[in-house]
Amino acid sequence: GCYGANLMTWLMNGESPISVTAITQQLQPENNPKVEDDATIIVNYSTAQVIIQASWNWPIGRKDMEIYGETGAIFADNRHQLRIRLAEGYDGFDERTLQLPELPAPYPDPFLLLKAVIRDEIQLPPFDLYSLENNMIVMDILQAAKESAETGKTVYFK
């Protein structure tokens, strides 16, 4: 669930959520005998709700995201392709696909990026995907998800 929490914290400009609810289960004990291998995490904000589906039991690797707004949706099918759907009434939509270029070095490689940050070659903006500010909130979300899954209750933030 860390990727989903990381991306949503970035999209929400570092806003902490109102609450987190999580359900976990073990669906493939033969492959993952000591851990839950599937989680659904619901993260609520004042203006958004996020559903993070984290799993080790899918037959294919997934790194996709869907964002729904008032007049359309964005589908990030992978790191290089976005589909943008604008609503045309309730049942119709206009869709276009964007191919995104690879980011310049050092961004595609997290270790080279870390090196550049340490050497003051790059300054990360607040709540950047790699920033400490962003990832501290991510850890709060994941800790709340763990607690929610263990207790069966929603965890509320102050």
Q: Specify the CATH number for the domain of residue 148.
A: 3.30.360.10
Domain limits for position 14: 2-152
**Within-domain flag for 105:** yes
Q: Which residues pair with 1 in a beta bridge?
A: none
pLDDT band (50, 70, 90) for residue 61: confident
State the DSSP code for 104.
Answer: P
The number of folded domains in the chain is 1
Lowest mean per-residue pLDDT among 52-56, 61-65, 91-95: 61-65
**Within-domain flag for 157:** no
pLDDT at 59 over 90: no
CB-count exposure of residue 150 (10 Å: 0-12, 13-18, 19+): exposed
pLDDT digit string (tens) for 15-39?
999 999 999 999 999 998 999 999 9
**Within-domain flag for 158:** no
Please report which residue ranges of 12-99 form alpha helices under DSSP H.
none
Decide: 74 and 84 in contact? Cβ < 8 Å. Answer: yes
Q: Which residues pair with 87 in a beta bridge?
A: 93
Q: Is 111 helix (H, G, I), strand (E, B) or coil?
A: helix
**Within-domain flag for 137:** yes
pTM: 0.90
CB-count exposure of residue 129 (10 Å: 0-12, 13-18, 19+): middle
The residue-averaged pLDDT of 67-73 equals 96
* Whole-angstrom distance, CA of residue 144 vs CA of residue 155: 6
* pLDDT given for residue 34 in this prediction: 93
**Within-domain flag for 77:** yes
pLDDT band (50, 70, 90) for residue 50: very high
pLDDT at 6 over 90: yes
* Whole-angstrom distance, CA of residue 119 vs CA of residue 104: 18
**Within-domain flag for 34:** yes
Instruction: Respond yes or no on whether the N-terminal peptide bond of residue 106 is cis (omega within 30° of 0).
Output: yes
**Within-domain flag for 123:** yes
* pLDDT given for residue 63 in this prediction: 86
